[in-house]
Amino acid sequence: MARINLLPWREEMRQEKKKEFLIQLAVVCVFAVVAGFIWIEAMDSKISAQNQRNKLLESEIANLEKQVVEIKDLKNKRKELLDRMKVIQDLEGRRAVIVHYFDEFVNATPDGIYVTALSRKGDFLSIEGVGESNNRISSFMRKLDDSEWFSDPDLRSVVAKQIGGQQAYNFNMRIKAVVPVDEEVGAK
């Protein structure tokens, strides 16, 4: 039998296969590194794009919040203006009411009654004056009570005094001022 030594040939084949394996391994490693780099770059670009979108959204949200604050301020100003307009309209509508009060007061004041002080707090009038007799003061109270512009006359005090050699009566009364229903409707 012939003896053939195949060991060197096998050794060369192993070396060649080892080289091929190392080359393939190097190619796969390079491919993996390139793929990893591409993947990392793609993710970084997506993250930066999302960060830009987030910044844009945050700036738009801040602008909208400013607009909401401005809208609230405008609504408050509008409400204040409407309240002022309502007050002005009420004042304009009630402008003639004070004239009616004085006219009715003059008509209700009989001869022999002299009013020395008249003050108003809310709906109540305080009247101080001098009357020639208790009957005239009573008549004054009845006329005020019969008036549609006044109600609930309340005589607080009557003091008899000598004024100029004659008997006179200082009085203090309180009366409620009211607006008749037809005047209220007309004012509105």
pLDDT tens digit sequence for 106-158? 888 888 899 999 998 988 999 999 998 888 889 998 998 888 888 888 888 88
Q: What is the model's pTM?
A: 0.50
CB 129 within 8 A of CB 115: yes
> What is the C-alpha separation between 130 and 137, in angstroms, rounded?
9
Instruction: Find the mean pLDDT for residues 52-73.
Output: 96
pLDDT interval class at 56 (50, 70, 90): very high
> What is the C-alpha separation between 44 and 88, in angstroms, rounded?
65
The torsion angle over the Cα atoms of residues 127, 128, 133 and 134, rounded to 10 degrees, is 60
CB 136 within 8 A of CB 110: yes
| pLDDT more than 90, % of the chain | 48
Taking the domains of the chain in order of start, what are their residue ranges? Answer: 97-187
What is the per-residue pLDDT for 185? 47
Contacts for 129 with CB less than 8 Å, ≥ 6 apart: 113, 114, 115, 116, 117, 170, 171
Name the least confident of 22-36, 67-81, 104-118: 104-118
What is the per-residue pLDDT for 71? 96
DSSP lists the bridge partners of residue 129 as 115, 171
What is the per-residue pLDDT for 188? 47
pLDDT interval class at 22 (50, 70, 90): very high
pLDDT interval class at 1 (50, 70, 90): low
- Could you list the beta-strand ranges (E) of 27-149: 113-121, 124-131
What is the per-residue pLDDT for 15? 92
Centroid of chain to Cα 144:
43
The CATH number of the structural domain formed by 97-187 is 3.30.1360.100
Instruction: Find the mean pLDDT for residues 7-11.
Output: 77
- Other CB atoms closer than 10 Å to residue 20's CB: what's the count? 10
Higher pLDDT, residue 156 or 43: 43
Selection from 129, 88, 82 nearest residue 105 by Cα: 129
pLDDT tens digit sequence for 160-187? 887 766 788 899 999 998 887 665 545 5
